Amino acid sequence: MSNNRAILYEHFSDIEQQRETSTAGIWVFVASEIMFFGALILAFSVYRFSYTQAFNEGAQELNVVLGALNTGILFTSGLTMSLAAATNKMGAKFLTILLLLATCALGAVFLVIKGIEYHEDWTKGLFPGEAFHWSGSNSPQVQLFFLLYFIMTGFHALHLLVGIGLILVIAWLVLRGWVHEEHFMPLEVIGIYWHFVDMVWIFLFTLLYLLGGKV
């Protein structure tokens, strides 16, 4: 099949149905992920209301500068992902690949900075478990804050890592000519996933770093 035509799979009646099904599928997946992260955010919010002072003390130990830097990085990666979708529809193959690789690079930088944060928390004795050390009051409640912090940011980092892998696959498919200006849905679907991961971080940054933290 020629690369300048959209690929229609046999279980779809036409291209429009195929695109609508792909879009609906990714939004169903995103909805399930919203429920997952929503449950974690709800649990965090309930405990934060119950142990406000302890959670504020925990938030003040986070590195808000690195958190803000990572927020800017993810915002930029969302821009490069959107530009990649746009340039792909214009037929700019190599520019699309460059923008996809830039998105992956920004995601990787985010993970490196997150790893630096985790290392800081570890050296300060803030990792939940037997190694947890808190010299102030409300130690069990502060440990709960960090338990939820590591769970939520850890799952977010895992989703980001998966997104990087998927974008690399899409970049390879663009290079091979399988994804192009008429067969663009795979890139669009991954773009929706990436923007979802970006939005989750906005909620996490606000809840964990800004509410009660050092700003």
Q: What percent of the chain has pLDDT over 90?
A: 73
Q: What is the pTM of this model?
A: 0.88
- In a 10 Å sphere around its CB, with 0-12 CB exposed, 13-18 middle and 19+ buried, how is residue 5 labelled? exposed
Number of residues that this document lists for the chain = 215
Q: What is the mean pLDDT of residues 9-16?
A: 48
Q: How far apart are CA 15 and CA 21, in angstroms?
A: 10
pLDDT tens for each residue of 153-210: 999 999 999 999 999 999 999 999 888 887 778 899 999 999 999 999 999 999 999 9
Which residue's entry shows tokens 């509410």? 211
Query: Which tokens in the block code for residue 31?
Result: 């909805």
- Looking at the domain 37-210, which fold is it? Four Helix Bundle (Hemerythrin (Met), subunit A) (1.20.120)
Do residues 149 and 57 touch, judged by C-beta distance below 8 A?
Answer: no
Residues 187, 85 contacting (CB under 8 angstroms)? yes
Residue 106 three-state SS = helix
Q: What is the DSSP letter of 16?
A: H
- Give the model's pLDDT for residue 130: 85
8 A C-beta contact, residue 73 and residue 110: yes
Tens digit of pLDDT for each residue in 116-148?
Answer: 999 999 999 999 988 899 988 889 999 999 999
pLDDT tens digits, 102-115: 999 999 999 999 99
15-70 pLDDT, tens digit each: 555 555 656 767 787 888 999 999 999 999 999 999 999 999 999 999 999 999 99
Cα(170)–Cα(120) distance, integer angstroms: 34
